[in-house]
Structure 1
Amino acid sequence: MEIINARPEHFPQIYSLICELEEAPLDRTKLEAVYLRNLTDPGIHYLVALENGEAAGFASVHIQHLLHHGGKIAELQEIVVAESRRGQGIGSLLFSEAEKTARTAGCLQLEVCCNRKRTDSHRFYERQGMVASHFKFTEALDMGC
């Protein structure tokens, strides 16, 4: 198993993993456009867990300067392991690489937001040493933006 920076050719497998994460088929064209754009953003790090050329997992780390922290913060936006590969330590490998990415970038903190229904994920993050210290509120906006 190796964790590498994702490349354009990894998109088909990553698309499948993101659909698995969201438990729904997503608009492939829109996701690919965002994926390719984000690959060029130095503040976004896409990590893929590969074994024999197959993507077993994916994580994305977004780094930004936040005023209220007075420095850089890394947010683990997505992390997913293929359902058939769960329980094999791949998520922990991806999480460790996300931490390393954040530390290397000089981030003060690593954050993650997780849907309330994903209780297995909550336990995973706690095992990684994270603490549930915040609430996240959302509002759907007009799609015309």
Structure 2
Amino acid sequence: MQDGERNVRRASASDAGVLARLLYEFNTEFDTETDSESVLKTRFARILTDDSVIALLSADGRQTTGFALITLRPAIWFDGPVATLDELYVVPARRGAGFGTALLSRARDVLRERGCPEMHINVDEVDVDTRRFYERHGFMNIEPGAGYRMLCYVGSTELP
């Protein structure tokens, strides 16, 4: 997909190193605990062989500018899968130039092609800029037809 100078393509296992570097940069930028790039590269190489994992890379010419990572799972509510946008990151120097929008747009295209009618995104409440970005693109945290917010809960698989 070409959108002016914003090129977005599907990543493959051969892109594991680039994706690992970007995810590492994302996590360190926001002071999130992270594994090393080598560990992340090994994981990306493994998961990108799974048909339920979709990674997209954006670039401006030869310079990689960001990525999106989407996972699919079966759904009981409709025939297609449910998608979760696990990560969307644009390098700081390229933010505001449309790369996030291009990644999200291409993700929607790929998901429609896969018969996926719905994408879930978890965003920290304090991350106002990210919430505003997704809301500008039509995402909401209120169930259609309901007057209350949807929440995401996270817990360990270990017993308390």
TM superposition score category, shorter chain reference: 0.7 to 0.9
Alignment correspondent of 1:139 = 155
Question: Could you state the TM-score of these two structures normalised by the residue count of structure 1?
Answer: 0.87
Alignment correspondent of 1:70 = 78
Distance 1:4 1:110, change over 3 A: same
Query: What CA distance in whole angstroms lies between the structure 2 residues aligned with 1:84 and 1:141?
Result: 38
Alignment correspondent of 1:48 = 57
Say whether the 8 Å CA contact 1:17–1:57 is kept in structure 2: yes
In the alignment, structure 2 segments of 5+ residues that lack a partner are 1-5, 143-149
In the alignment, structure 1 segments of 5+ residues that lack a partner are none
State how 1:98-137 maps to structure 2 within 5 Å.
98-133=107-142, 134-137=150-153
Q: Which structure has the larger Rg?
A: 2
Query: What CA distance in whole angstroms lies between the structure 2 residues aligned with 1:66 and 1:91?
Result: 27
Q: Per-residue CA shift, 1:46-95, capped at 9, x if unaligned? A: 0000223221010012122122x233111111100001100001100000
Q: What is the CA distance between 1:30 and its match in structure 2?
A: 2.4
Identical counterparts, % of pairs: 24
Question: Could you state the TM-score of these two structures normalised by the residue count of structure 2?
Answer: 0.79
Moved more, 51-60 or 7-16: 7-16
| Structure having the larger proportion of residues in helix | 1
